[in-house]
Structure 1
Amino acid sequence: MVLDKSSDGSSGGFWKRMRKDKKKDSEDEASGDEIHMKVDPAIRQKLVTEHLQFFEERMIEMESHIHSETLSLGSIRDSLRIQRDKLEIEIGESEFERDVLNPKDNDLLDQLTALLIGPVKNLGEYD
């Protein structure tokens, strides 16, 4: 019993058609590759140029943003330094240290820790 018959009644037609179809597909792919190879350099060059231009513009934009942020942070830092200097002059740094630290006590680290934790609220007791 023959399971596979072509439309004209001959056996093995399906596999022959499959081979022909595969051969035709591979020929189409080859001709597509040839067309692709002919067009590829111009398209590739244009695409690379566009990408480079986009990335260059984006890099310049980011450099500008970073520069402005750096200037802003620098001015904030300078302002904080000026405020710190003013506060040190107002308080009198050496007077503050002399008044806060007990000279009779040898445990300087505990005193400094108490100073650090003291102003913080809702921390509980430090022992």
Structure 2
Amino acid sequence: MGAFDYRNFDDRKKNSASAKQMLLEKFKARPPADDPEMIAKAEARAAIARAREERIREREAARIAAEKAAAEAKRAREEAELAAQIAREEEEARLAAERKAAVLIERKAARDARYAARKAKARR
């Protein structure tokens, strides 16, 4: 615990008044708004703010362009996958048709062989 503070109310009141007076003097010491130096500082701050806003716009435009490019790449990839799937399905359908045709040819050949055997048996 700290030592006992011997200051009284008058000391605290004087310190408070002097702090307020110092703040008032500091406020009064500011140059007026039409001072050329203040105008130059305000213009510099405005230029910095404009540059910051421009960088933000550029970053946003770059982000949008990247999103568009990613979406276009995704769409192209999906179209390529769809085209590949359609080609696979067409190939499968063609192979199935060829297998069906081959089975029909084999059945016809077997049927013709049975018919020829029956005819040969009947001739004997």
TM-score, structure 2 as length reference:
0.51
- The structural deviation recorded for 1:14 is 4.5
- 1:21 paired with 2:19, answer yes
- The structural deviation recorded for 1:58 is 0.6
Partner residue of 1:64?
65
d(CA) in 1 for partners of 2:86, 2:7: 97
1:89–1:15 Cα change, 3 Å: same
Q: 1:12 aligns with which of 10, 13, 18?
A: 10
- The structural deviation recorded for 1:43 is 3.5
CA RMSD in angstroms comes to 3.2
The structure whose residues are more often helix, as a share, is 2
- The SS at the match of 1:60 is helix
d(CA) in 1 for partners of 2:31, 2:16: 22
d(CA) in 2 for partners of 1:81, 1:22: 77
d(CA) in 1 for partners of 2:90, 2:29: 84
TM-score, structure 1 as length reference:
0.50
- The structural deviation recorded for 1:26 is 2.9
Partner residue of 1:41?
42
Q: What is the identity percentage for the equivalent residue pairs of Structure 1 and Structure 2?
A: 9
Larger Rg: 2
1:14–1:73 Cα change, 3 Å: closer
Flag the structure with more relative contact order, 1 or 2, with Cα contacts below 8 A and sequence separation at least 6.
Answer: 1
